Amino acid sequence: MNDDNWANLHKRYAEKDWSKLPSIFATEVLPHLPHQGSLLELGAGVGQDGIYFSENGYEVTATDLFTNAVDAAIADKSARHITTKPLDLRKPFAFDNDSFDIVYAHLSLHYFSREITQQIFDEIYRILKPGGILAFFTNSTSDPEYGTGDKIEDNYFMVEGIAKRYFSVESLEPFLERFEITLLDANGETYKDRAIGVHNLIRAIVKKPL
């Protein structure tokens, strides 16, 4: 998918009923977070999770390749404690070392080659404060799409014009070697999945050591 198509995808998502609700994963993550702090969201999309965290007292920086959709959602909600910033996950992050208490990513880390994926996790580790928390939610190898399309590299396929990586708990472990794991499983679900009784997405909550 080219960069322009991401903006169109966000526009379509903003029309969905679920775009007005925090994701299931966001509500699962909240009890594991400190009561306050700075939170960086990677791939904010239409903004519902960033708004949810800001409403719960966090200072949120919501990032995406294009921020039009999240900017519109923030304006509609008159949301406070949240700012937006364009960010291309394929490039080094424009944040200082030890900048954030929390990094959060919902379905935004599974579009990249292994090299870029490792770079992203390295950047997250760099910008997290010691003791900071990374919470992320991704595709899994149990997805019915897994193995379809054209294989690019192990667990990474071009599916209908979109490059997608599919993780398992085991394949994620090398990326998380420097973190302390609080939760890592393949029991995650979206609202759409819940409606059909499917829960096979990867959930991860990990901490940068003090």
The whole-model pTM stands at: 0.91
CATH classification code of 3-207: 3.40.50.150
| pLDDT at position 91 | 97
Instruction: Please give the angle made by the CA atoms of 166, 28 and 12, to the nearest 5 degrees.
Output: 60
- Residue ranges, the chain, pLDDT below 50: 1-2
Domain ranges of the chain: 3-207
| pLDDT at position 1 | 47
| pLDDT at position 198 | 78
| pLDDT at position 118 | 98
d(CA 81, CA 23): 19
Whether 142 contacts 89, CB under 8 Å: no
| pLDDT at position 126 | 98
Question: Tokens 């994701």 — which residue?
Answer: 23
**Would you say the C-alpha torsion 191, 175, 128, 163 has a positive or negative sign?**
negative
| pLDDT at position 19 | 61
Whether 45 contacts 70, CB under 8 Å: yes
pLDDT tens, residue by residue, 79-130: 678 999 999 999 999 999 999 999 999 999 999 999 999 999 999 999 999 9
